[in-house]
Amino acid sequence: MRLKDKVAVITGGASGFGEGMAKRFAEEGARVVVADLNSKGAERVAAEIGEAALPVTADVSIKADIDAMVAAAMERFGRIDIMVNNAGFTHRNQDMLTVDEPTFDLIGSVNMKAIYLTALAVVPIMKEQGGGSIITTASTAGLRPRPGLVWYNASKGWAITATKSMAVELAPQKIRVNCLCPVAGETGMLAQFMGEDTPEKRAQFRASIPLGRLSTPLDVANAALWLASDEAEFITGIALEVDGGRCI
């Protein structure tokens, strides 16, 4: 029960890493807001968790949606201790010059602007409460970028720098800010990362990971759980690699 009496808001909670975090956090005693653009997916995950979960439909690139998400969390649970910026978007693995402008803008809105919007909404609440934890799902792409995902890589590098900057500024208010850097895993974005999802591509990708497999939602959820818990009360401003050795 490492998150007993804590309330967590998790964006992108309807699938993949976000679903893993929502369920793992609930197992450890948290009440969770499962936020996602996919309403049915959020409702499914919340239903599987039970009374400790609240599904919310939200587009993280829209301020009104973020504000409504936070208001729903406060109305239902009365506080927010953990904010997880997990929703993400990528372009397909391709030449950097062939990514169109609308796709580029969407990457910026979901992977970057959303962090700003959630900070505007939850930091005042956490200051009033005397502290909190903000966690962003970044990526190994932000630490060790590779060709084919240039604009996605850049957005995750931005997220890592934003994490460190926020950590320094918010430390006096006892708000810890960290991010996770997972290697690609069994999520809906895997095909885009690889360009195409084939057994050959998967084998090639696994071969680049020293521990010999892709990440799983549980891997990422367990890392997030530790960062969110009081066990990590002296940890802030880190980009935690959850990558099986990929960045070595």
User: Which positions are catalytic?
Assistant: 152
Residue 215 bridge partners (DSSP): 185
Q: 29 by DSSP, 3-state: which?
A: coil
Calculate the alpha carbon distances from 184 to 43, 201, 216 in Å.
25, 12, 9
> Which phi and psi (to 5°) does residue 31 adopt?
-100, 135
Beta strands in the chain (DSSP E): 7-11, 31-36, 53-57, 82-85, 132-137, 175-182, 239-242
Q: Say what angle helices 114-129 and 150-170 make with each other, to 10 degrees.
A: 20
Q: How far apart are the first and last CA of the chain?
A: 33
Q: Which two tokens stand for residue 200?
A: 């050959």
